[in-house]
Amino acid sequence: MTSTLNTFIASGNTPPWLPREVADGRRFAWWAEIMFLLAALIWFIIAIVEVTMFVIDGGVGRIAFGIFGFFALLICFLAAVFMKKTVMDAIDQGRFHDAKNDSLVWIIIGFFGFALPSILLILTYVKIGDALAQQAPAGYQPYAPGTVTAQQPGQPYAPPPVPPPQPAQPAAAAQHPQHPQHQHQPMAKCKNCNVQFPMFMHNCPNCGAPKE
* Average pLDDT of span 148-173: 59
Cβ proximity of 204 and 211 under 8 Å: yes
Local confidence band at 11 (pLDDT 50, 70, 90 cut-offs) = confident
Smallest Cα–Cα separation from 14: which of 127, 134, 135, 136? 127
- In this predicted model, what pLDDT tens digit does every residue of 39-82 receive, in sequence order? 999 999 999 999 999 998 888 888 999 999 999 999 999 999 99
Smallest Cα–Cα separation from 135: which of 108, 100, 161? 100
Half-sphere CA count of 168, side-chain side, radius 13 A: 3
Q: Which amino acid is at 37?
A: L
To which H or E segment does residue 188 belong?
strand 187-189
3-state secondary structure of 198: strand
3-state secondary structure of 11: coil
Question: What letter does residue 19 receive in the DSSP assignment?
Answer: -
Local confidence band at 145 (pLDDT 50, 70, 90 cut-offs) = very low
Question: What letter does residue 187 receive in the DSSP assignment?
Answer: E
Q: Output the pLDDT for position 143.
A: 46
- In this predicted model, what pLDDT tens digit does every residue of 162-187 receive, in sequence order? 777 776 555 544 455 554 455 566 77
Strand partners, 189: 196
Whether pTM > 0.75 for this model: the answer is: no
